[in-house]
Structure 1
Amino acid sequence: MKQLIASHWRHSLRFRLLAATLVALAFALVLAGLMLGGLFRDHVMRQFSQSLTVQLDQVTARLEFDAAGQPQIDPQTLSDPRWSRPYSGLYWQIDGAGPARQRGVLRSRSLWDVALSVPNDVLAHGSVHVHEEAGPAGARLLLVERTITRDGAAATPWRLIVAADLSESAAAVTRFNGVLAASLATLFVLLCAAALAQVAIGLAPLRALQRTLVGVHAGVSPRLIGRFPSEVQPLVDDFNAVLDRNAEVVERARTQAGNLAHAIKTPLAAMSQAAAVALRKPEASGAELAALVEEQVGVARRHVDWNLARARAAAAQGVPGARVPLQPVVSGLLRALERVHAERGVTLQCLPMAPELAFAGEVQDLQEMLGNLLDNACKWARHEVRVSVTTSGLASGSPLRIVIDDDGPGIEADRRESVMARGARLDESVPGSGLGLAIVSELASLYGGSMRLQSAPTGGLRVEMELPGA
């Protein structure tokens, strides 16, 4: 159970949004805290160093040399009382800068009996160096120093050092970091609450969509109802289109089932009546009964084939990836029909076509449509049947234009519409391979195409059919 709950949360959009937001917030606030803490520490140390430089300037101004060139400072001239209080945290010291490096030649009263230890680096005259070193009682000190020389004398230079305890500055930085951490933690909590509210408000339309889907599943509504955000609305529209198509397919299936049942009732009733008559009159000819049964079975078979073709075409319409090359199908039908009508001496001619032309549908439907039209043309042609296949555009998937011409008697213009009328029975059309022109027209329309009857240049009938290209 725990694993199921964990898997549900890992695959939850709410969890992903919250996790990504909280991780980004935590990273940003930690980075901001480190940057702000570092900037404040640098600012404090820079201010502290500047204040020590001011103290160094004050001590430098009070420095004097005696007749022997030895440095002297009158403690009374220094204004800060910490110079005189032992271990007060503010110190000055003068070291010899020559090769002998005399340490602590003079130092403030606050150092008492301790001398500051300074790195033995080389200082340019007048330049100020800053160091962090250990001081009295192990305290951390910030030291600033410069080299000075007695005016007008080629005497040994001296190092003047001023140092101060860093504990107060460190305490200030620590207090600031504590306040900063508490502030950022409070801000993180507030931002987390804002993120929760944002996710809840942002995903509210999805909950509404879920409720609508429950209604569709329960049969309360046939489609998704409501307006949703622009990011979700296209998905809702596509889903509604799928629902509408499914409803259309179901309704079409019910209609076709009813039509098929109604069409088969007549042959079954005729055969039942003939069987009853045969039972009452055993002396009647069995050949007549067999002919009637064969005829009615053929009628029923044609109705079944018709409805199956309609159902297959309706199901294949708009299916992605359906592709039937035209050239092999047309060539195969022409070879078969040449053998069927060989005794009539009809010539079947196919004009050159591009090998890449293809039909977007089922191969059985293409064979039935073309086979019926070609068989009708061969039946009524005197000498020749001509087929041409072109496309109405240069782009891939452009509609196909299939033209079949014969040199037979043709069909009068006033009869063409009745021949192609929807629902015309096969025995009312010109006999052919089992599907009349009306059914071919209906199959073409189910694929989004069309069929027209015209006069052929050879004087016979021209059938022009347009089908979707792949």
Structure 2
Amino acid sequence: MFKRHVERRVDVELTVYLNQLAANITRKPSGELALAHRPSDPRFEEPFSGLYWQIAGVSSDVLRSRSLWDTALSLPNETSTGSASHHYEIPGPQNARLYLLQRYIELPEDIGGSKVRIAVGVDAREVRQSVRSFTSELVPFLLIIGALLGAASWVQVSVGLQPLSTIRGRIAGIRSGKQRRLGGNFPKEVTPLAEEIDALLDEREKAIEKARGRAADLAHGLKTPLQVLNGEIIRLEEKGDASTASEISYLVNLMRRHIDRQIARARISYASSDASTNIKTSVEQIIRVVERTPRGQDLNWLVEAPADLTARIDAVDLAEALGNLLDNAARHASKKVSVTACAEMQGISISVSDDGPGIEKDHQAAMLVRGKRLDTQSGGAGLGLAIVTDIVEASGGSLTIENGSVGLIATLRIPAVKSDPQP
């Protein structure tokens, strides 16, 4: 653009010189072409100054500026006369390239009436040098403007995306259990998204309540038939048919454990991800229940857990898992059962240990298999540890079993409640 601007400025200047030359053409008494007045620009008088003019007639008449010295320009041919000027780039003195403006005119009759070509040229390097100078001055400012625009765009994008960062932080808070909904106070462009997410959470909460209600209905519906079967077992025992009663009792217990497991799985499948449970409080409540059993009254119970240790798991699910572990520990312990909870890098660890005989290493993996019973005297269905595994895995945790220095150690590892994330 600046090059075109410079060329237009040069055209204006050269046109002035062309008009001056055309207005001052005359003839000498001898018939030769002459100029009444030469252009006043001193560069026309300085040899090879870069500014030149030349007038060529139909004959050998040639007038030229002193700046050409003894050099004549090879002017392009013109086919028509008129007031229009034409641009050319031609070779000039000292191997320079000239930016040339030429006009082909017909002289009045009073000075011969012939046709002449008037040309004014300037060294093309001056045009290019002007463009280069302008570019060298312009580029730093363009870079500064580009940097400012880039910074402004970054600020604009950062400010524009800030509501999305807020939404991300609140969603993380919902996952960690610190809040239940996104809430409001969003720009109008983001408010529909937040409202849809909150509506989705509402629908999910309703689905959870329905699932839990159906699980409770199922448990209630099956409780009465199982209770009837227990009554039949008692009657069979009273009639002296102990073997049949024992078989039916085993099947009833097996059915009850299967039902308990399926209800637990249905519940944890829809467990709320924003649940949180205090570990020490939950452990102490379960131990108080187990202590009322005949076996629990004979044991010493030790609990070591920080008062503020909180896990990301539903309280009912944690009670189900710990209840199974404490029940197993109570059945096999000699004098003592210990529960130890602490925070780890990956979450929370809860260990239940007893001072019983322990289990052979080769049989430890079999304990976690559904329906596999190593203790065939207790009448269990072999589903307790499988239920514990389902619960902790649904919460993103794990269950490990190993022998300690004395007895068996069952360890739950479950996620901790995270603090509010910083966007």
TM-score computed with the length of structure 1 as normaliser: 0.47
How far residue 155 of structure 1 moved from its aligned partner, in angstroms, is 5.3
54, 67, 80: which is aligned to 1:123?
Answer: 80
CA gap of 1:253–1:113, structure 2 versus 1, over 3 A, is: same
**Is 2:220 the partner of 1:259?**
no
1:270-285 correspondence to structure 2 within 5 Å: 270-281=228-239
Paired residue secondary structure (1:133): strand
For 1:273-331, what per-residue CA distance to the aligned partner results, in whole angstroms no more than 9, with x for missing partners?
23313332359xx9xx9xxx9xxx9xx9xxx9xxx9xx9xxx9xxxxxxxxxxxxxxxx
Q: Which has the higher contact order (CA 8 A, sep 6+)?
A: 2
Shift of 1:194: 0.9
Contact 1:69/1:150 (<8 A) preserved: no
Q: Does 1:147 find its partner at 2:101?
A: no
- Following superposition, the deviation at residue 116 of structure 1 comes to 0.8
Q: Give 1:58-97 correspondences, 5 Å limit.
A: 58-73=20-35, 78-97=39-58
Judging changes above 3 Å, is the alpha-carbon distance between structure 1 residues 80 and 234 closer, same or farther for their aligned structure 2 residues? closer
Distance 2:213 2:86 in 1: 99
Contact 2:52–2:122 (Cα < 8 Å) also in 1: yes
Paired AA for residue 47 in structure 1:
R
Counterpart selection for 2:127 from 169, 172, 179: 169
Note the aligned Cα RMSD (angstroms). Answer: 3.3
* Letter matched to residue 269 of structure 1: Q
3-state SS in 1 of match to 2:118: strand
Per-residue deviation, 1:108: 1.9
* Residue among 86, 89, 92 paired with 1:135: 92
CA contact (8 A) 1:150 1:157 kept: no
Q: Determine the C-alpha separation between the residues in 1 that align with 2:95 and 2:182.
A: 78
1:53 maps to 2:15: yes
In the superposition, relative to structure 1, how do residues 96 and 213 fare at CA in structure 2: closer, same or farther (>3 Å)? same
Residues 174 and 181, structure 2, Cα contact 8 Å, conserved in 1: yes
Cα distance change on mapping 1:80 and 1:260 into 2, 3 Å: closer
Task: State the secondary structure of the residue aligned to 1:187.
Answer: helix
Counterpart AA for 2:55? I
Q: Contact 1:65–1:71 at 8 Å: present in 2 too? A: yes
Instruction: Give the letter for the 1:250 counterpart.
Output: I
Residues in 2 aligned to 1:260 and 1:254: alpha-carbon distance in whole angstroms:
10
Within the candidate set 101, 115, 121, 1:157 is matched to 115
Question: 1: distance between equivalents of 2:118 and 2:233?
Answer: 136
Tell me, yes or no, if the aligned pair for 2:81 and 2:106 is still in contact at 8 Å.
no
CA contact (8 A) 2:82 2:105 kept: yes
CA pair 173-249 structure 1, distance change in 2 beyond 3 A? same
Name the CA distance, whole Å, in 1 between partners of 2:147 and 2:21.
Answer: 52
Give a deviation string over 1:139-194, Cα, whole Å, max 9, x none.
Answer: 22233333242524765423233223333333222222223332222111111111
Other structure's SS at 2:89 match = strand
Per the alignment, do residues 116 and 251 of structure 1 end up closer, same or farther by CA in structure 2, a change over 3 Å counting? same
Tell me, yes or no, if the aligned pair for 1:92 and 1:161 is still in contact at 8 Å: yes
Question: How much does 1:71 deviate?
Answer: 0.8
User: Does the alignment pair 1:107 with 2:68?
Assistant: no
Once residues 194 and 203 of structure 1 are traced to their aligned partners in structure 2, the CA distance between those partners, rounded to angstroms, is 14
Q: Give the 3 Å change call, closer, same or farther, for CA 125–222 of structure 1 in structure 2.
A: closer
In the other structure, the counterpart of 2:195 is 237
Q: Percent identity?
A: 37
Distance of 2:212 and 2:113 partners within structure 1: 119
Find the aligned partners of 2:86 and 2:225 in 1 and give their Cα distance. Answer: 116
Offset of residue 136 of structure 1: 0.9
Instruction: State the alpha-carbon separation in 1 of the partners of residues 87 and 211 from structure 2.
Output: 93
- Check 1:130–1:244 CA distance in 2 against 1; reply closer, same or farther (3 A cut): closer
| Superimposed CA distance per residue, residues 47-78 of structure 1 (whole angstroms, 9 cap, x where no aligned partner) | 21121121122223332212342112256x54
Q: How does 1:429-448 map to 2 (within 5 A)?
A: none
The amino acid of 1:273's aligned partner reads G
- Quote the Cα distance in structure 2 between the aligned partners of 1:154 and 1:41: 40
Provide, for residues 389-424 of structure 1, a one-character-per-residue CA deviation record: whole Å limited to 9, x for no partner: xxxxxxxxxxxxxxxxxxxxxxxxxxxxxxxxxxxx
CA distance 1:201–1:96, shift in 2 (3 Å): same
CA distance in 2, matches of 1:257, 1:128: 98
Decide which moves more: 206-215 or 59-68.
59-68
Q: Distance in 2 between matches of 1:137 and 1:227?
A: 77
| AA at the equivalent of 1:46 | R
Q: Amino acid of the residue matched to residue 45 of structure 2?
A: S
Equivalent position of 2:165 in the other structure = 207
Contact 1:129 1:146 in 2 (8 A): no
| Residue aligning to 2:315 | none
Q: Report the Cα distance in structure 2 between the residues aligned to 1:244 and 1:268, rounded to whole angstroms.
A: 36
Amino acid at match of 1:268: L
What SS is found at the alignment partner of 2:234?
A: helix
Equivalence for 1:418: none
- Tell me the SS of whatever aligns to 1:163: strand
Find the residue that maps to 2:178 and give its secondary structure. Answer: coil
Aligned pair partner of 1:178 in 124, 136, 143: 136
Verify the 8 A CA contact 2:104 2:117 in the aligned structure 1.
Answer: yes
Secondary structure at the counterpart of residue 203 of structure 1:
helix
